[in-house]
Structure 1
């Protein structure tokens, strides 16, 4: 309850600071059809609220922030639950998330569109998550998951990953015990160390820290062998129906693409400026994260991404009872080349 109250308070404050009353996503700009060409000029006075803290830091470090600061206000919000609530509160225009939030938002009646996508080159060798195994639990291969207590977060990437892993080895939800837990912060690592669950997908520096802290007690991780590398910018559809905001979102997507490329090409600056100074990690943790992330893949063709997204939709629909949706309808294809063109220097 405390966390939700704190989030709602933050959203209320954000709405006031943004100077948009209760409506950040529709401020009376010229109406734009969803199949109309994207405008390329951002009108004076246009403002969009963006929940993408990492890119904000990348833009500052790379000297690119001035390109968007006139029309972008950053909010310290990220992840599916926070961004979806912010969309509903009409306090946010753009959010940065993994694969599942746009699907989950659509199932809850919220109209959103994906406007940028980032993946990892060689994704199976550079996964975001590994399956953490609690001390004393014998899980050496995926088939050993049968009968185990597994942390599960519906509506988030970690939850979908669990379902994909079970499907991969021919198991169902009935073959394991899914324990619903939020996947924020250290929740999964703590649940593993306390043996509240036997297995949980943990990602990023949590993998390194979990093994360092509990490896001596028998904690371990195993690879899952499934692509888990999707990262998206998604937006409230009504923001795209505002011509000024649509132009601002297009400009932001271009800046986002350049920022991802800068991060890849300046790992030392990124480690020092983001992981150490902004996130409070050690330089060693930052280097571990950079090494394990590999290089980004930002394509001008979303066909493969949409096909993989459809497979995820089909699986989740079957497992959750939600209606089937067309993955291609989640994407605004007008943005398909924007980030890639910006990286090549072709965006204006």
Structure 2
């Protein structure tokens, strides 16, 4: 698919979404303090990715004595979670920074209720077997796989910009994260953007055939991960009280991970992903220790990503990303960070 065709599809999708129902129109932040009492019988439907949040809450002990019920749905990528919000089937989900920007650009009523930041080196650019490319500039005229509407999109734009290239200098191929390794292995694309553990799994299987990581693919992402919730959940006192509690537990769980890397390797990468311990250890080392930034810091990082997407016309117009954040949750996270 050509660069021009992909860009047209992206803009068309945003235009169609923005013309959706009134319920999809982004609203101002909900006023007033967060409710603290969770009524009996309250349930939160969670959009999880690769069982990550569910495993993290359990491994850290943060799923004990919940005053509400959590039910998990499995999703591949943030855009799928946003679509489930639109259909009314989820109350909260975990996404990277880019889906939140696309939601705002499409005027979808979604707010950030939890923030964590990990390594900015979490996105990797790997090659197909036999490729001689060693840096991004070597990909001029080549096919590059990425996933539109996810953190891979601004990461690719930043990589090309750093290398003195533009999207017109390459052929962009929009694939799901799970489809990218197979396309690489078969030579359908020359390079692709991946995160862990898919990146390590792909290289372990194909490095003896010449597949490798580019040397200048560092610092391509913000490292931000968000808990996000649709406006419908935040206008419901029972679910908002549950989200307040979940945001605190999410914060404590991430800080637990920062100090228990080996336990996380065993619980998630070995136990859930069924990967060798050595691979899990490599992934944890690559991802770095998560931190909980204050919201002004997170907003500034998010603004840089949105500006990059706007400059590339991947979104229709420039955005003020502060509108994405329900800032009432900053105090919740900071209290949890400080032992509350």
Contact 1:51 1:76 in 2 (8 A): yes
Shift of 1:111: 0.9
Kindly indicate whether residue 258 of structure 2 is the aligned counterpart of residue 264 of structure 1: yes
Kindly indicate whether residue 320 of structure 2 is the aligned counterpart of residue 343 of structure 1: no
- 1:327 matched residue in structure 2: 321
Provide the aligned C-alpha RMSD in A: 2.1
CA distance in structure 2 between the partners assigned to 1:264 and 1:178 by the alignment: 35
CA distance in structure 1 between the partners assigned to 2:258 and 2:265 by the alignment: 11
Pick from 219, 228, 231 the counterpart of residue 234 of structure 1. Answer: 228
- 1:110 matched residue in structure 2: 108
Kindly indicate whether residue 280 of structure 2 is the aligned counterpart of residue 286 of structure 1: yes
Contact 1:154 1:160 in 2 (8 A): no
- 2:86 matched residue in structure 1: 88
Kindly indicate whether residue 193 of structure 2 is the aligned counterpart of residue 201 of structure 1: yes
CA distance in structure 2 between the partners assigned to 1:174 and 1:92 by the alignment: 37
Pick from 293, 304, 307 the counterpart of residue 300 of structure 2. Answer: 307
Contact 2:123 2:220 in 1 (8 A): no
- 1:37 matched residue in structure 2: 33
Pick from 210, 218, 221 the counterpart of residue 213 of structure 2. Answer: 221
**How far does the alpha carbon of each residue in 1:168-194 deviate from its partner, in whole angstroms, 9 at most, with x for none?**
2332111111112222x2x21211121
**How far does the alpha carbon of each residue in 1:82-133 deviate from its partner, in whole angstroms, 9 at most, with x for none?**
211210110101100111111122333321011111112xx35xx2121101
CA distance in structure 2 between the partners assigned to 1:267 and 1:316 by the alignment: 33
CA distance in structure 2 between the partners assigned to 1:312 and 1:163 by the alignment: 10
Secondary structure class of the residue paired with 1:220: coil
- 2:202 matched residue in structure 1: 210
Secondary structure class of the residue paired with 1:67: coil
Pick from 37, 43, 49 the counterpart of residue 47 of structure 1. Answer: 43
CA distance in structure 2 between the partners assigned to 1:326 and 1:132 by the alignment: 33
Contact 1:79 1:96 in 2 (8 A): no
Shift of 1:78: 5.4
Shift of 1:231: 0.9
Contact 1:71 1:248 in 2 (8 A): no
CA distance in structure 2 between the partners assigned to 1:87 and 1:252 by the alignment: 18
- TM-score, normalised relative to structure 2: 0.84
Describe how 1:141-156 pairs up with structure 2 within 5 A: 141-156=135-150
Contact 2:266 2:277 in 1 (8 A): yes
Pick from 71, 74, 78 the counterpart of residue 73 of structure 1. Answer: 71
Shift of 1:244: 1.6
Structure 1 unaligned residues grouped into runs of 5+? 1-24, 26-31
Ranges of 4+ aligned residues in structure 1 off by more than 6 Å: none
- 2:96 matched residue in structure 1: 98
Aligned in 2, Cα 1:307/1:321: closer, same or farther, shift over 3 Å?
same
Aligned in 2, Cα 1:74/1:206: closer, same or farther, shift over 3 Å?
closer
Aligned in 2, Cα 1:59/1:225: closer, same or farther, shift over 3 Å?
closer
CA distance in structure 2 between the partners assigned to 1:272 and 1:180 by the alignment: 33
Structure 2 unaligned residues grouped into runs of 5+? 1-22
Shift of 1:270: 2.1
Describe how 1:117-132 pairs up with structure 2 within 5 A: 117-120=115-118, 123-124=119-120, 127-132=121-126
Aligned in 2, Cα 1:226/1:268: closer, same or farther, shift over 3 Å?
closer
Secondary structure class of the residue paired with 2:97: coil
Secondary structure class of the residue paired with 1:65: coil
